[in-house]
Amino acid sequence: MRVHKLKIGVSGIRGEVGEFLTPALACAFAQAFATYTGPGRVVVGRDTRPSGPMLEHAVACGLLAGGCDVVLVGVYPTPTIQIYVASTDACGGLAITASHNPAEYNALKLFNRQGLFFNTYERSELLDLYHQSAFRHVSNAEIGHVETDTDRPFHLHLGRILPHIDSNRIRNRRYRVAVDAVNGAASLWSPRFLEALGCEVAAIHVDPDRPFPRLPEPKPEALDQLRRTVIEQKCAVGFAQDPDADRLAVVDETGQVLDGDDVLALVVDTVLQRQRGNVVVNLSTSSAIDDVARRYGCRVLRAPVGEANVVQLMQATQAVIGGEGSNGGVIYPSVHLCRDSFTGMALILDRMAASDLPLSELARQLPRYFRRAGAVEFEHERLGELLQRLPERFRATAIDRSDGIKLILSDGWIHVRPSNTEPVLRFALEAREPQRSEELYGEVLELLSSSGG
Amino acid sequence: MPLPLRPLRISHVGLRGIVGQGLTAAHVIDFACAFGTFLEEPGRVVVGRDPRASSQMLYEGVVAGLLACGHDVINLGVVSTPVIQHAIRWLEARGGVSIGASHNTAEWNALKFFGSKGIYLNTAQASELLDIYHLRKFRLAAWDQLGRLSEEPGALDYYISQLAAVYDFERLRDFRVVIDCCNGTSSILLRELQRRYGFDWILINEKLEGRRFAHDPATTAEMVALQLAPLVKPLRAHAGFLFDVDSDRVALATEQGEALSEELVLPLLTDFLLERNPGRLVITNLSTTALVQEIAQKYGAQVLRVPVGRQAAIDALTSYPPEQVAVAGEGTGAVMMPQFRFIYDGIASMLGILTMMQERGRLLGEIVASYPKYYMIKGQFPLVPAAVPRLLMELQERYADGQQNTQDGLRVDWPGRWFHVRVSQTEPVLRVICEQRDEPPAELFRQLSEQVRRLMS
């Protein structure tokens, strides 16, 4: 499997802008989208990538040609666009963003009239329309309008979050909060959002006209400046987002970046305290979630890795909370069934305010597991063989094959899966004891490297 | 078998078609990318559009394509085509695009392309643009080299300043004029001129419309007769003018409420401009009235006749220094003047005719009455392409006694009489035009029609 600079598949259309992701492709894809949704208003928003405006015009062109009206909201986080779609009479939405991918990439994220990611069936239907070029072409008499609505989406989003937290309690704490919006779609909105919660905001990387100043994905190694800001400005917490602000990373008051699974565990705990129900996470997410859920007598269900998979299972099981630890994703359906860094920030602040404990202490109280993750390159033909070797090598009490292979061991677990986008096998593992975790890491790495090579 | 009407036409004059049925978003994006590639070095490109609903769709596609090629787009919004052309020079842009189907009905739309001087691409340039379009190998900019979009609200002011530099508006204020805007962009301009200079102008069909125009926006005597001409006398106006949707063409009604043939716009402006600069060249096409020649002779000027279509006129203009040309235009009401850098402009034409009325102290009907009377009969026949060469050969043999011109079909001239048989560039039809001084050329037209029908079936 080689990496190509354009990918059109069930996850949509993504590529490097220039020779690969062209205006013609974006326009045709939008026209296929219009054909699929039928007449109605389609919301279009984007992140701050330099190619955003060009693609926005191409998408508007295709939507109009396909018989839809276009509502341009401008630069907004993906979750805000989704909530706006769900809150208005729109028949669908498109976010122009390559999310956490590098700046040269762009992509289209597709939403149905409920503001939810297209599910597998919707996506393959759309893809068929695209490939067949079976587009609706409307005449001048039927062609729609372009309208703009740039202020309302933020207020709709904020209005959805506030009823689910005790905002007065947060306000009374007058937290000093650092935020790093990577000069992305949240640049204008995160400071406003945190100020609305009474926080004193130390904002970095909130200029939407400047390039991404760090890795777009809020990985711990990319957050040095945020960590410094938290320490220097004596902040209670620091938040980092990706360019379309669906992902969230959290830094505690000591400048430590919290593990994504710990952030999710904190959020799950916060939600289950007042609302019992199912929890959905992905197969690579920590068992800490199970321990937390057990306290409330709630069930944890596991979906294959990927927001769409988690959302699909949450919808099917009417889960009250969910997400993907390693991808910084908090999904709280009471706000909206989407990965949302704003909801994540609000729930963390709410938890801090309720407990009156520093964030590092809240994290310390979580069930303790030792996690490792990694990736190795592999030859595609050898995937089956590799996945067969794992259960031979490790004694599993249970095996889940819904996304690669997950072995449940007596004292931990191992999850190995091929990436959907790159020629790598990703693996994650967890154990109760740190030595056991290191031991497993070495063994898995050796096994995958020796036979995959 | 006659051919059906084509809902899409991609040619040297650009892209034109019925939206949805022939002209699609994909054509627009590809053509915009082709133009962006054609312009080479990234620079500014001026874009404007007419009020058609579909023009918004075309606009989005044009902007996407140009930005993708690294050009900065300057949007003028809904404006007349001549405003776009003037703005290209003013803004030192590399080129421009006019979105709108001008004199075609509402379901049509089109893209027209201009170079850095605000002039239509000549044939060599247009051929290159077409080659790039067909090859579809566009020079797309890297992700961090894309263009930016901005708005320019000052283009209308600049255009008005250009008109004001040539015409003395104060002297035109005494005329009461009725104007049919055909729901197009002329109303924006006319209202602004009226506001600034206090003209006694009465506008009809003034509201910009996207889906349905009050009538076919063609600048023809038939359309003038529909609503405009009957209003002139009751309103005690001195003249009536009708513009197409993007106001690059004009048609006329006299103070008596008579709808004038669209053929008369060019002769009138020829008269007006040659009087100031006798001896300069007049450029027109083979289908235009012989009255132009008669007026030119009065001023000792030559008439250069070129094939029908914008392209031939643009090519001809490039071969002459501008100071040698008095006027260029066609019998459709589309006229270009050197004072306005050879931009087809209905508004500038109207102001020229009003100035002539003022200078001569005569109204439009009186001026036209002083011209010899020519009668024109036009017909069109379903096209059978394979039969065309034989038809033209037979006609050449049959009318060997006249002066023949074969640049575009066949034109044969006799003193006070001529005909032109040619294949349309826009529709699958063969056009037959006859004109005669003092009486209608009914017999000639009958003979030609008979021969055409015999061979085109």
CATH number, position B81: 3.40.120.10
B336 shares its domain with B387: no
Residue A148 confidence (pLDDT): 98
Domain CATH for B421? 3.30.310.50
What's the mean pLDDT in B290-311? 95
Domain spanning A370-452 has what CATH number? Answer: 3.30.310.50
Q: CB of A391 within 8 A of CB of A399?
A: yes
Residue A453 confidence (pLDDT): 42
B136 shares its domain with B36: yes
CA pair distance B366, A438, nearest whole angstrom: 103
Residue B150 confidence (pLDDT): 98
Nearest to A140 among B67, B142, B211 (CB): B211
The answer as to whether B336 is a domain residue is yes
Interface test with B, best of A6, A59, A140 (most B CBs within 10 A): A140
Catalytic residue annotation of B: 102
A434 to each of A371, A415, A438, B434, how far by Cα in Å? 8, 17, 6, 99
B434 shares its domain with B326: no
Question: Of B257, B285, B316, at which residue does a domain stop?
Answer: B257
The answer as to whether B82 is a domain residue is yes
Res B1 pLDDT > 60: no
* Count: domains in chain B: 4
B86 shares its domain with B36: yes
B146 shares its domain with B164: no
A284 touches chain B (CB under 8 A): no
Residues of B in contact with A62 (CB under 8 A): 25
B18 shares its domain with B102: yes
CA pair distance B74, A346, nearest whole angstrom: 42
Q: Which domain range does residue B402 map to?
A: 375-455
Comparison of pLDDT for B354 and B7, the residue scoring more: B354
Cβ of B107 within 8 Å of Cβ of A140? The answer is yes
The answer as to whether B3 is a domain residue is no
Per-residue pLDDT of A377-415, as tens digits, reads 877 777 888 888 899 999 999 999 999 999 999 999 999
Task: Find tokens 């910009």 and name the residue.
Answer: B208
Using CA of residue B36, residue B42, residue B46, residue B49, what is the dihedral sign? positive
Question: Cα distance from A88 to chain B (closest Cα, Å)?
Answer: 23
Comma-separated ranges of CATH 3.40.120.10 domains in chain A: 6-150, 156-364
Res B2 pLDDT > 70: no
Residues in chain B: 457
Q: If you measure CA to CA, which chain B residue comes closest to A28?
A: B26
Total CB pairs under 8 A between chain A and B: 132
Q: If you measure CA to CA, which chain A residue comes closest to B136?
A: A24
Residue A3 confidence (pLDDT): 66
Per-residue pLDDT of A218-270, as tens digits, reads 999 999 999 999 999 999 999 999 999 999 999 999 999 999 999 999 999 99
Catalytic residue chosen out of the listed positions A11, A51, A87, A99: A99
Residues of A in contact with B51 (CB under 8 A): none
Per-residue pLDDT of A315-341, as tens digits, reads 999 999 999 988 788 999 999 999 999
A107 touches chain B (CB under 8 A): no
Domain spanning A156-364 has what CATH number? Answer: 3.40.120.10
Cβ of A24 within 8 Å of Cβ of B33? The answer is yes
Q: CB of B305 within 8 A of CB of B313?
A: no
What is the secondary structure of B342-374 as a DSSP string?
S---HHHHHHHHHHHHHHHT--HHHHHHTSPPE
Question: Of B257, B284, B307, at which residue does a domain stop?
Answer: B257
B135 shares its domain with B65: yes
The answer as to whether B204 is a domain residue is yes
Cβ of B56 within 8 Å of Cβ of A64? The answer is yes
The two three-digit tokens of residue B356, written as one number = 């002539």
B242 shares its domain with B297: no
Question: Of B308, B340, B369, at which residue does a domain stop?
Answer: B369
Cβ of A61 within 8 Å of Cβ of B106? The answer is no
Residue A2 confidence (pLDDT): 60
B147 shares its domain with B12: yes
DSSP B228: I
Cβ of A23 within 8 Å of Cβ of B29? The answer is yes
Per-residue pLDDT of A354-365, as tens digits, reads 999 999 999 999
Residues of B in contact with A148 (CB under 8 A): none
For the CA atoms of B177, B183, B186, B192, the dihedral, rounded to the nearest 10 degrees, stands at: 80
Nearest to A137 among B24, B53, B144 (CB): B24
Cβ of B60 within 8 Å of Cβ of A64? The answer is yes
Question: Cα distance from A95 to chain B (closest Cα, Å)?
Answer: 16
B397 shares its domain with B270: no
B93 shares its domain with B207: no
Domain spanning A6-150, CATH class: alpha beta
Nearest to B29 among A27, A103, A141 (CB): A27
B220 to each of B53, B186, B193, how far by Cα in Å? 24, 17, 25
Comma-separated ranges of CATH 3.30.310.50 domains in chain A: 370-452
The two three-digit tokens of residue B345, written as one number = 């402009």
pTM of the model: 0.94
Q: List all residues 6 or more positions away from A224 whose beta carbon is below 8 Å from its beta carbon.
A: none
Question: Cα distance from B105 to chain A (closest Cα, Å)?
Answer: 10
Per-residue pLDDT of B30-85, as tens digits, reads 999 999 999 989 999 999 999 999 999 999 999 999 999 999 999 999 999 999 99
Residues of A in contact with B57 (CB under 8 A): 61, 64-65, 143
Per-residue pLDDT of B116-147, as tens digits, reads 999 999 999 999 999 999 999 999 999 999 99
Per-residue pLDDT of A3-26, as tens digits, reads 678 888 766 789 999 989 999 999
The answer as to whether B335 is a domain residue is yes
Nearest to A50 among B53, B57, B146 (CB): B146
B41 shares its domain with B116: yes
Question: Cα distance from A13 to chain B (closest Cα, Å)?
Answer: 16
